A and B are shown apart, each in its own frame.
Chain A
């Protein structure tokens, strides 16, 4: 009997095993550990169809990966590599310990691995690549596809991140509880980035985008389950991810075109997911901290709760954007606020929000900026200006999907 493996079993076991073994061997041996885990998975692919899936597939993989790692470390130790010798000793001590790790330990290992990835000495893009590789089990080609980067670029970032891990002092590999707490904001930022990569990506493959969002939620839940990381900000981040993910199914039409919030079929929103999001939001309201995640989750919750676009509580959306701007200033938030104000008080008021705002060049040249201005001017009756901005928006659209949505919307 060969029961089917759980979805993403190999990818998630990869992350779990790497985290577990890196903790023992030290982050300096990240690459050796990854090779050992890769070898164990390959052995499983070759053996399991013949032998059947073992009773505990996770323990089987762990045993094979550990043997692979030990023999490679032994080889290196024989060549006089003192680090490898130390790692080997630590590995051998672990072998004498109980074979089946406790659930709490696994959680702890994954959390620590997440912190190892989110080292602010590594550029954020490289942190992102490292997290997707080690924790989510994507390979370089898959990461490049998901982040819209070339494989060469992805590989370069990964190498840089690993290089830094090799040179980092041993203590960094196993940070203390206080150090973990101080690096928590960076860790949340990476989880958030993984989510936005999936949610906002112009990649047209819905499955790929959803998969990244699911990974971010999984990492967020690892944070939320851990005493160190279970804080209101983490809960708000989870609320925001669930509330966005609940609506993903309605964002694309049958031919893969982008459907604007206004036109979405709200019956296709996932109510169960919205409830989960709202309960995280309720948990996030404890304590005195208010983060950008709170503000963004607030906006998302207003949309989820509104029976229709026109019945949205725009005043509340506006105040969430004001709070968001106060916690994480960005002209993009002002742009969003202008849209909400226009729905609440009319297009002229919306335009007034943008008056005097000098957008940075990245925003001024973006399709978002031109699209909002075109929309507001059209509704205010300024036809010529509206047409000019519409053309600019369509010219700046990064993908056909977005171009088509703009052409539809901006008439």
Chain B
């Protein structure tokens, strides 16, 4: 089955800093995520994670202009397998917390080398 890279995109002009969830809400979040993970356990290749600090290594001389760091656009990633892009989007969309005001998910097919 083809694999897809899911990138959590922080959407610009998002509404302020999100409210802090309460312990009860966090437990509910955990339960929902766990349920999603169970439902799609055959499709989840890599649950990935959030992206931290990074650095861009470039060839000398450095190209002109500012380099946009991926971290500013992408909050986290994971890899799922699905029969097609539609299914992959459906799986990612159902992941709790990924698609909400201020955040969306971009799903990209990973072309594996043939054979």
Name the CB-closest residue of B to A139. Answer: B22
Contact B22 A141 (CB under 8 A): yes
Task: Write the nearest CB–CB distance from A300 to chain B, whole angstroms.
Answer: 29
Decide yes or no whether B90 CB sits under 8 A from chain A: no
Q: Which residues of B contact A5 (CB under 8 A)?
A: 27, 30-31
CB contacts (< 8 Å) of B20 on chain A: these are 38, 139
Residues of chain B within 8 A (CB-CB) of A44 are 26, 30
Interface residues of A in 141-180 (CB under 8 A from B): 141-142
Q: A9 and B27: CB pair below 8 A?
A: yes
Grouping DSSP codes into helix (H, G, I), strand (E, B) and loop, the A interface class, with mixed when no group exceeds half, is helix
Chain A residue nearest to B29 (CB atoms) is: A45
A48 to chain B, nearest CB (A): 7
> Does the CB pair A41–B23 fall under 8 Å?
yes
* Contacting residues, chain B, for A49 (C-beta < 8 A): 30, 33-34, 37, 47
* Docked CA distance A2–B22 (Å): 22
B 19-42 to A, binary, CB cutoff 8 A, 1 in contact else 0: 011111111011101100100000
**Interface size of B as a range:** 10 to 19
Distance A38 CA – B20 CA, assembled complex (angstroms): 9
Quote the shortest CB–CB distance from A133 to chain B (angstroms).
10
Indicate if B50 sits at the interface (CB-CB under 8 A). Answer: yes
In the complex, whether A11 has a CB less than 8 A from a CB of chain B is yes
In angstroms, Cα B20 to Cα A50, docked, is 22
Task: Identify which of A8, A42, A46 gathers the most chain B CB atoms within 10 Å of its CB.
Answer: A46
With A2-B34, A50-B47, A50-B49: A45-B26 Cβ-Cβ less than 8 Å: yes
**Which of chain B's residues have a CB closer than 8 A to the CB of A38?**
20, 23
Contact: A11 with B27, CB < 8 Å?
A: yes
Question: Does A137 make an interface contact (CB < 8 A)?
Answer: yes
Total count of chain A residues near the partner, CB < 8 A: 23
A44→B23 CA distance, assembly (Å): 11
CB distance from A91 to the nearest CB of B (A): 22
A44–B33 alpha-carbon span in the complex (Å): 12
Residues of A close to B29: CB separation below 8 A: 45
Is B24's CB under 8 angstroms from A142's CB? yes
Q: At the interface, yes or no: A14 with Cβ under 8 Å from chain B?
A: yes
Nearest A residue to B22 via CB reads A139
How many Å from the CB of B5 to the closest CB on chain A?
A: 17
> Are A10 and B50 interface neighbours, CB within 8 A?
no
Contact between B50 and A46, CB atoms less than 8 A apart: yes
Q: How far is the CA of A271 from the CA of B26 in the complex (A)?
A: 34
Most buried by A among B23, B25, B49: B23
Q: Which of A261-319 contact B (CB under 8 A)?
A: none
B24 contacts across to A, CB distance below 8 A: 8, 10-11, 137-138, 142
Report the separation of the CA atoms of residues A38 and B23 in the bound assembly, to the nearest whole angstrom.
8
Q: Choose from B23, B33, B37 the contact partner of A137 (Cβ within 8 Å).
A: B23
| Contact partner, B26, options A10, A50, A142, Cβ 8 Å | A10
B47's closest neighbor in chain A, by CB?
Answer: A50
With a cutoff of 8 Å between Cβ atoms, the chain B residues found around residue A139 in the complex are 20, 22-23, 25
8 Å CB interface, A48-76 against B: 48-50
Determine the chain A residues whose CB is within 8 A of the CB of B27 once the complex forms: 5, 8-11
Q: Which residues of A contact B49 (CB under 8 A)?
A: 46, 50
Considering the chains assembled together, what is the distance between the CA atoms of A142 and B31 in angstroms? Answer: 19
Query: How far, in Å, is B52 (CB) from chain A's closest CB?
Result: 12
A139 to B26, CA, bound (A): 11
Across the interface, which residues of B come within 8 angstroms of A10, CB to CB?
23-24, 26-27, 30
Residues on B close to A: CB < 8 A?
A: 20-27, 29-31, 33-34, 37, 47, 49-50
Q: Which 4 A-B pairs have the closest CB atoms?
A: A139-B22, A10-B23, A10-B27, A137-B23
**24 intermolecular pairs with C-beta atoms under 8 Å apart:** A4-B31, A9-B27, A10-B23, A10-B26, A10-B27, A11-B22, A11-B23, A38-B20, A38-B23, A41-B23, A41-B26, A42-B21, A44-B26, A44-B30, A45-B26, A46-B49, A46-B50, A48-B30, A49-B47, A50-B49, A139-B22, A139-B25, A142-B22, A142-B24
Interface set of A (CB-CB < 8 Å, partner B): 2, 4-5, 8-11, 13-14, 38, 41-42, 44-46, 48-50, 137-139, 141-142
Besides A45-B29, A141-B22, A142-B22, 15 more A-B contacts (Cβ < 8 Å) are: A4-B31, A4-B34, A5-B31, A10-B24, A11-B22, A13-B23, A14-B23, A41-B23, A45-B30, A45-B33, A46-B49, A46-B50, A50-B49, A139-B20, A139-B25
